[in-house]
Structure 1
Amino acid sequence: MGPYAIVATCSLNQWALDFEGNYARIVKSCQQAKAAGAKLRVGPELEIPTISWKASAVRTGDNVPYSSAHPGDTILHSWEVLGRLLKDEACRDMLVDVGMPVLHRNVRYNCRVLIYNGTILLIRPKLHLANDGNYREARWFSPWRHRQETQEYMLPRMIQRITGQITVPFGEAVISTRDTCVGVEMCEELFTPDSPHIGMSLDGVEIFTNSSGSHHELRKLQSRVRLITEATLKCGGVYLYANQQGCDGDRLYYDGCAMVIINGKVVGQGSQFSLKDVEVITAVVDLEQVRSSRGSSHSRSGQAVVAQAYPRIMVDFALSSDELNLSISPSLPVELQFESPEGEISMGPACWLWDYLRRSGLSGFMMPLSGGLDSCAVAVVVYSMCRLVMEAVAQQDEQVIADVRKVLGEPKDSTFVPASAQELCGRLLHTCYMGTRYSSKETRERAKQLAAAIGSYHVDLDMDSVVTSVRTLFETVTGRRPVFASQGGTSAENLALQNIQARLRMVLAYMFAQLLPWCRGQHGSLLVLGSANVDESLRGYMTKYDCSSADLNPIGSISKVDLFKFIQFAKDQFDLPVLESFLNATPSAELIPTDTDHPVQSDEAEMGMSYEELSIFGRLRKLERCGPWSMFSRLVHAWTEDTPSAVADKVKRFFYYYAINRHKLTTLTPAYHAEAYSPEDNRFDLRPFLYPARWIYQFARIDRAIATLQADKDSVSEANFSEDD
């Protein structure tokens, strides 16, 4: 029997600048870790002020928690919270690793602070910063460049009075206990080619902590797990991965999934999606397994002999016991749990919505339910949220129960809990079908049936009188009466008459959001939900300031292809047979007159490309960084069923509409971030919104290539003809 150590890592649902709540959740995690016998507790990145410090706020001002107005206050309050942790009994007799910003020699760093029994052992700054995609960490922090070195850090006087210390080590060092050695690796550092765990492992570090702020994206967890398991499979060691969980007030959802890994095998895994504010994962690890694994590799030993040594900070404390204890046995490997993309869509946006709702102080959601797939998906996501809430209620989660009563406006002494997800949905979700004379009976009926199936409070109305009033006003002012293209109108008239219907739906949605609770005798007002998917936003196939403009959009960075699969999934998983009719319906805006000469309006026909093609364009544009030429050169080989000219036409059409509609993306509703090819430029894309729409040079390059390809094809045909002749 080797030295067994009980270690704990956790996922915390922290909230931007909620110092009191964040402190309470940290303490609760320490209490749970201690109750399990753990001697080491690791928390998520920047857990005291929260992870928003990493995020890419492109605006500044007092209304954003990570703006330039706040760093001084935030650092001060972080030290105040740390001071409380140093004195808290929950944090004693255990090595505690917490995260906060620290100002050292007038430079701001993202740090881990390792404390033990009321003293600070080490402040470890981050070496490599996340500075792409969703993150602009270098805007707020500087990386630590003095590898494997420490400096003396002068503690604030408030901390000096608590710990009795004047200075503490600041830099890249490791903690040596009586029985092992612990090193820190932070979030982005794991993803870099020269990760710190490599050097630390060669210098004898056996336990690695990774405090992360990693957001959810569809299919991303597998990549994260693969990196961690491969790191410890090659280097050996115990790896404790901690992560933020929930919505901390931003577009991102952090998906938790804290893990304990030893020598490439996962021995503890937390939930990826959860309504819990605190989730602690503990495991019993055998340190002799680490030593045995490393000792079996002669090449590793040869590298370790010449490895550069890390500064070691000694602490008179052991993580393991040298006493024989048959009641403690090493944790066995567990089978990793991964959700399907459809399952991720059903839970990620749902958990994000619940966090946003309970912390916003509002009383529910309002959404236009059109009878189409997109608004259907949003309604089902809200229903999924209600199902998750009811599961937590059934498990007697006191925090969730308290939040339900608060959101519903129940009195403080209330004992009310909803009986079902449908009952909760009826209190929280308000749906409205806003029909016109061009709306079909089928979409109206689908909306009504879906609302009944999930239990939402549903309103069915016709808004023709409102549309007519605006149209009449224009005619009175200008003396001109616009008509649809099918009635002889121009494309400008046709587009304007469609857009006014869409924009009036936004106005009505906000009016109903403010007044429907009043009509029902309920308190508060509602958050308006939008339903534009990522592909339509990318193509610009939406009206600016129409009903896609809202307070939140749960599906704003999810492709139509994935949404279709999600509805198929939800039909069976949630027992909603009504969803079959949405799957079989042709996507249509239903904004123009139809007759035998003018068939039903089709989204894909109007866009000039399929949703599958749009998804491919989006990924090539963003993830593969393709412009018109490079995208054409990729697709001309992949889409062999099309001629080069047909491929070129599709690529040109996409880039033309992408360019002329970029301005729409500056006003996109804040959306749940689920895809890395999201075009939302307020947050993630950060590209210009005025492009040369004709792409003269780029398209000419494609045309020359087509001419060359056609000439090659003709010469091959002539050669084959000669041989046959």
Structure 2
Amino acid sequence: MGHLITVATCSLNQWALDFEGNLHRILESIRIAKEKGATLRVGPELEITGYGCMDHFLEGDTCLHAWEVLGVILQSEEARDIVCDIGMPVMHKNVIYNCRVVIHNGKILLIRPKMWMANDGNYRELRWFTPWMKHRQHEDHYVPRIIHAITGQTKVPFGDAVVSTIDTCIGIELCEELFTPASPHILMGLDGVEIFTNSSGSHHELRKLYRRVELMKEATMKLGGIYLYANQQGCDGDRLYYDGCAMIVVNGRVVAQGSQFSLQDVEVVTATVDIEDIRSHRATSSRSNQAAGAERYHRIEVDFALSGMKGDEIKDFSELVVAPLPEVRYHRPEEEIALGPACWLWDYLRRSRTQGYFIPLSGGIDSCATSVIVYSMCRLVAEAARNGDEHVIADARRIAGEAPDSDYTPTDPREFANRIFHTCYMGTENSSPETRKRAKDLAHAIGSYHIDLNMDALVTAVRDLFAYVTGVKPKFKVHGGSGAENLALQNIQARLRMVVAYLFAQLMPWVRGRQGGLLVLGSANVDESLRGYFTKYDCSSADINPIGAISKTDLKKFIAYARGAFELPVLTEFLEAVPTAELEPITDSYVQADEVDMGMTYDELSVFGRLRKVEKCGPWSMFTKLVHEWGSFLSPQQVAEKVKHFFFEYARNRHKMTTLTPSYHAEQYSPDDNRFDLRPFLYPSRFPWQFKKIDEAAARWPDRSSLKPSDAKDKISVLP
């Protein structure tokens, strides 16, 4: 062993504009890092302000308060004798930059602005920040007077530079810069930088973690080095859940990994590494040849050794226990659904300061999945309480209506669910005994406070009102009514459920002798939103929706997983039931079924959704891809009809996306109109040019299918 260094990175549950809370969590992370012997601490991206401030980044107040918080950190005892890498927005020469501020013992060593911005999908960094385009250049930044009064500094280095300690060299990347083809760590590493920090605001998405880990492993495998990854964690006030998973990677191997989903506000990950291992790894001819010709970075020197040198004294590591390298932990998608939305719901609930959740529980798999996610949240709260997490216990007491000095501890998830989760079956004459029973049995299994009501009187009153005003009474199609009548009568039921849901959500705490109100949960999945298969302003219109960006296919896998993991055998009935809206009368010859109504299967919808959004396909390119993918069991004409039907229904229902309930983001093909999927909501829904081209090709191309149309459904698989 040569030069042993203990380094720390962290995941913080920051909240946009919560400067007081963010400060406390930053100081707590520094304190824990020092307690574990670390001499370098790295935090998440924009940790002082919170990552999700959005247009508040354009306000002078946001930068001002960030400097005020940094001033407190600079003066704190926690930040003594440790190098800290802290994130905040900085205005330099009247331009706003997303920056890392490196500090040590009450001084600012370097302000490093972000050079490559995340600006697609959920990210709009170029709306608020400007990238630093002067690569490997730095200039003077004149600090505010409040900082000058604390540090005595008038100006500090600002730009693309690195920090040189007595024993090593530290370089900085910010989130997106790791994902770019020409990442800064390559040139920094060739110029002798041995430790790389990466501060991120990376949100959870199903199956996403693997890419993040592999990029860090690959970077340090071929380059050599220590990579410290810090990430935001939790819901900071919007649809995204930042999934933490701070980690330390050395020479292509993960040596420490934090949790991906946690109720903790502060999680610090440390590792003790030998800097000589980096030098040994880099001792190759090809790397040395490239390094000898590399452009230099300006080094900001600091009279401090991360290996703990004080004069001639070296930190004693004689009792160091070298643990085996951990295996990287990846959750299966169904586990991610159980954990990510549950943690997001907990943050939303405690930060909104409401008394719980309310959901119209229909007896179908979507509202079932949403309810089970709430139960998963209750399980996580109970587990944290059993482990003595004081912050979780305090929040749970307040939400459950207990006094701050109460000794109540939510160690039983079913008991806690009964206090904060309200389910309601809103039946009509079109509802079946089976769905009513499933709803009741599920509520009993998870412990929710359940209500069973019949709303026929409401539906009849609205129907009679229309008949009184117009002189005609609408009828369902099975009773001889038209399509317009049939649809209107279905929508009456759906929209009244939304009204009833909000009435009960506002008053149920009062009924139970408590104060406050409940948040209404929606339960429309991503495939139904994409297709527009829901009523505008029905019970899918809610406060938040934890499954709004999760496919029906993944929801079924989640329910199958939860059946065993959560010991809920009642979920078998939901898996076996045919999805139905139950908005039309049931007869001997007709039972409403979702996939029949939609004219496409849920698996097909997942394929269409991925091709439309992820693969960036319009009608024509989707058709050509699917002729190749499905050509062995569907003719070109059949593929053409499916593609045209999807785009027609998608286009004519796109307007519904403008009113979609804010949903937890989990899927790359989410049609969320708010920011993620920016498209028109008034389309030429028959796409005359595109559809004509498809029809011409379908008539001309040979039929390679060898299966009957009825067998095709089993052959359609969801793209990875």
Classify the TM-score, shorter chain: over 0.9
Residue 635 of structure 2 is matched in structure 1 by: 643
Residue 66 of structure 2 is matched in structure 1 by: 78
CA contact (8 A) 2:96 2:130 kept: yes
Q: Which amino acid aligns with 1:367?
A: I
Alpha-carbon deviation of 1:323?
A: 5.1
**RMSD in angstroms over aligned alpha carbons?**
1.1
* Structure 2 gap ranges (5+): 309-313, 706-720
Q: Which of 303, 310, 329 does residue 290 from structure 2 map onto?
A: 303
Residue 611 of structure 1 is matched in structure 2 by: 602
Q: Which of 565, 573, 579 does residue 565 from structure 2 map onto?
A: 573
Matched, 1:483 2:475: yes
Q: Distance in 2 between matches of 1:330 and 1:447?
A: 52
Q: Which amino acid aligns with 1:7?
A: V
Query: Matched residue of 1:439: which SS?
Result: coil
Residue 536 of structure 1 is matched in structure 2 by: 528
Q: Distance in 2 between matches of 1:325 and 1:643?
A: 70
Q: Distance in 2 between matches of 1:380 and 1:361?
A: 22
Q: How does 1:368-517 map to 2 (within 5 A)?
A: 368-517=360-509
* Structure 1 gap ranges (5+): 56-65, 714-725
Query: Matched residue of 2:256: which SS?
Result: strand
Q: Distance in 2 between matches of 1:398 and 1:451?
A: 29
Residue 143 of structure 1 is matched in structure 2 by: 131
Q: Distance in 2 between matches of 1:111 and 1:119?
A: 16
Q: Distance in 2 between matches of 1:147 and 1:215?
A: 27
What do residues 359-413 of structure 1 show as CA deviations (whole Å, max 9, x unaligned)? 1010000100000000000000000000000000010001001110111121121
Alpha-carbon deviation of 1:417?
A: 1.3
Query: Matched residue of 1:93: which SS?
Result: coil
What do residues 596-615 of structure 1 show as CA deviations (whole Å, max 9, x unaligned)? 23x21000011011000000
Alpha-carbon deviation of 1:205?
A: 0.2
Q: Distance in 2 between matches of 1:71 and 1:187?
A: 23
Q: Which of 317, 334, 346 does residue 354 from structure 1 map onto?
A: 346
Alpha-carbon deviation of 1:704?
A: 1.2
CA contact (8 A) 1:555 1:672 kept: yes
Alpha-carbon deviation of 1:330?
A: 5.2
Q: Distance in 1 between matches of 2:153 and 2:248?
A: 33
Q: Distance in 1 between matches of 2:355 and 2:267?
A: 27
Q: Which of 187, 202, 221 does residue 199 from structure 1 map onto?
A: 187
Query: Percent of aligned pairs with the same residue?
Result: 64
CA contact (8 A) 1:203 1:304 kept: yes
Q: How does 1:43-122 map to 2 (within 5 A)?
A: 43-53=43-53, 66-67=55-56, 71-122=59-110
Residue 174 of structure 1 is matched in structure 2 by: 162
Query: Matched residue of 1:91: which SS?
Result: coil
Residue 619 of structure 2 is matched in structure 1 by: 628
Q: Distance in 1 between matches of 2:696 and 2:252?
A: 52
Q: Distance in 2 between matches of 1:712 and 1:582?
A: 38
What do residues 473-494 of structure 1 show as CA deviations (whole Å, max 9, x unaligned)? 0011111111111111111111
Q: Which of 129, 142, 148 does residue 160 from structure 1 map onto?
A: 148
Q: Which amino acid aligns with 1:236?
A: G
Q: Distance in 1 between matches of 2:638 and 2:699?
A: 13
Q: Which of 279, 297, 307 does residue 291 from structure 1 map onto?
A: 279
Residue 26 of structure 1 is matched in structure 2 by: 26
Q: Which amino acid aligns with 1:222?
A: Y
Q: Which amino acid aligns with 1:677?
A: Y
Query: Matched residue of 2:607: which SS?
Result: helix
Matched, 1:281 2:272: no
Alpha-carbon deviation of 1:712?
A: 10
Matched, 1:551 2:543: yes
Residue 588 of structure 2 is matched in structure 1 by: 596
Residue 717 of structure 2 is matched in structure 1 by: none
Residue 313 of structure 1 is matched in structure 2 by: 300
Alpha-carbon deviation of 1:419?
A: 4.0
Q: Distance in 2 between matches of 1:414 and 1:333?
A: 43
CA contact (8 A) 1:267 1:331 kept: no
CA contact (8 A) 2:261 2:343 kept: yes
Count residues in correspondence. 699
Query: Matched residue of 1:284: which SS?
Result: strand
Q: Distance in 1 between matches of 2:280 and 2:573?
A: 59
Q: Which amino acid aligns with 2:16?
A: A
Query: Matched residue of 1:651: which SS?
Result: helix
CA contact (8 A) 2:97 2:131 kept: yes
CA contact (8 A) 1:655 1:693 kept: yes
Residue 210 of structure 1 is matched in structure 2 by: 198
Residue 672 of structure 1 is matched in structure 2 by: 664
Query: Matched residue of 2:701: which SS?
Result: helix
Query: Matched residue of 2:685: which SS?
Result: coil
Alpha-carbon deviation of 1:421?
A: 0.2
Q: Distance in 2 between matches of 1:75 and 1:565?
A: 45
Q: Distance in 2 between matches of 1:294 and 1:71?
A: 45
CA contact (8 A) 1:257 1:272 kept: yes
Residue 38 of structure 1 is matched in structure 2 by: 38
Q: Which deviates more, 343-352 or 318-327?
A: 318-327
Q: Which amino acid aligns with 1:520?
A: R
CA contact (8 A) 2:56 2:62 kept: no
Residue 257 of structure 2 is matched in structure 1 by: 269
TM-score by length of 1: 0.95
Q: Distance in 2 between matches of 1:371 and 1:323?
A: 63
TM-score by length of 2: 0.96
Q: Distance in 2 between matches of 1:420 and 1:459?
A: 21
Q: Distance in 2 between matches of 1:169 and 1:324?
A: 34
What do residues 108-150 of structure 1 show as CA deviations (whole Å, max 9, x unaligned)? 0000000000000000000000000001000000000000010
Q: Distance in 1 between matches of 2:586 and 2:497?
A: 21
Alpha-carbon deviation of 1:234?
A: 1.1
Q: Which amino acid aligns with 2:297?
A: Y
Residue 233 of structure 1 is matched in structure 2 by: 221
Q: Distance in 1 between matches of 2:704 and 2:559?
A: 46
Q: Which of 688, 696, 702 does residue 704 from structure 1 map onto?
A: 696
CA contact (8 A) 2:529 2:657 kept: yes
Query: Matched residue of 1:547: which SS?
Result: coil
CA contact (8 A) 2:42 2:228 kept: yes
Q: Distance in 2 between matches of 1:155 and 1:406?
A: 42
Matched, 1:248 2:236: yes
Q: Which amino acid aligns with 2:63?
A: I
Summarize the Cα distance change of 1:44–1:711 in structure 2 as closer, same or farther, 3 Å threshold.
closer
Residue 717 of structure 1 is matched in structure 2 by: none
Q: Which amino acid aligns with 2:542?
A: A
CA contact (8 A) 1:216 1:255 kept: yes
Residue 58 of structure 1 is matched in structure 2 by: none
What do residues 61-100 of structure 1 show as CA deviations (whole Å, max 9, x unaligned)? xxxxx347x6200000000000000000000100001000
Alpha-carbon deviation of 1:418?
A: 2.6
Q: Distance in 2 between matches of 1:682 and 1:103?
A: 28
Q: Distance in 1 between matches of 2:511 and 2:541?
A: 24
Summarize the Cα distance change of 1:324–1:512 in structure 2 as closer, same or farther, 3 Å threshold.
closer
Q: Distance in 1 between matches of 2:486 and 2:116?
A: 53
Summarize the Cα distance change of 1:590–1:178 in structure 2 as closer, same or farther, 3 Å threshold.
same
Q: Which amino acid aligns with 2:671?
A: P
Query: Matched residue of 1:319: which SS?
Result: coil
Q: Which runs of at least 4 in structure 1 moved beyond 6 Å after TM superposition?
A: none
CA contact (8 A) 2:357 2:421 kept: yes
Query: Matched residue of 2:130: which SS?
Result: coil
Q: Distance in 1 between matches of 2:703 and 2:92?
A: 66
